[in-house]
Amino acid sequence: MMRPAIHWRRPLILCALFALPLAWAPLDAFSKDHALLLNASPSLPNWAFWLDKRAPIERGSLIFFEPPPSTLVETHFGPDPQMFGKRVLGLPGDVVSHEGMDVFVNGEKIATRLRTTRLGIPLRRGPAGTIPANCYYTGTDHPRGLDSRYGAIGFICAGQILGSGRAIL
């Protein structure tokens, strides 16, 4: 005669109750430095990203940050905009310059600015000059992406950065 499955249930429950507190601390520590992000913006080609709050930031890194408060950001994204994700195109010490609507980092053209948004709102030129310590110049391949090309975003500095990410889907 076979024993019912209930016979195995008690040891499994006891093991789970014992293991849960042991696993909780490492999982909690991991979750403080990592996150799964879903993208709703067409300015990045992927829709899912893995965020690592401790990853080093280098040229080409994808960083996620809180946009600076500005009327333009609020107009497009509401009074409490979500985080932005952009590529790092300029590092501290690099030199940003503008020639007409073209934007350069260390003399290399990286982007072209637009005069207005799709809604006809004028776009101010972004910062020029040497990128300060702990700040970055960000951009996207999307021609209408709101990034460091424009004064509403400007340089992205350490206090705004949530972490570096990589596309997973």
In total, how many domains does the chain have? 1
Q: In which domain, by residue range, is 114 found?
A: 34-167
Q: Identify the sign of the CA torsion 100, 104, 107, 110.
A: negative
Residue 9 lies in a domain: no
Q: What is the pLDDT of residues 36-94, one digit of tens each?
A: 888 877 777 887 898 999 999 999 999 999 998 887 888 777 788 888 999 999 999 99
Do the domain assignments include residue 143?
yes
pTM listed for this prediction: 0.80
**In this predicted model, which residue has the larger pLDDT, 152 or 35?**
152
Taking only the tens place, the pLDDT of each residue in 93-125 is 999 999 999 999 999 999 999 999 988 999 999
- In a domain, residue 12? The reply is no
Residue recorded with tokens 């975003």: 153
- Rounded CA separation 2/33 (Å): 48
Write the DSSP assignment of 69-135 as a string of letters. P-HHHHHHH-SSPPPEEEEEEE-TT-EEEEETTEEEETTEEEEE--SB-TT--B--B---EEPPTTE
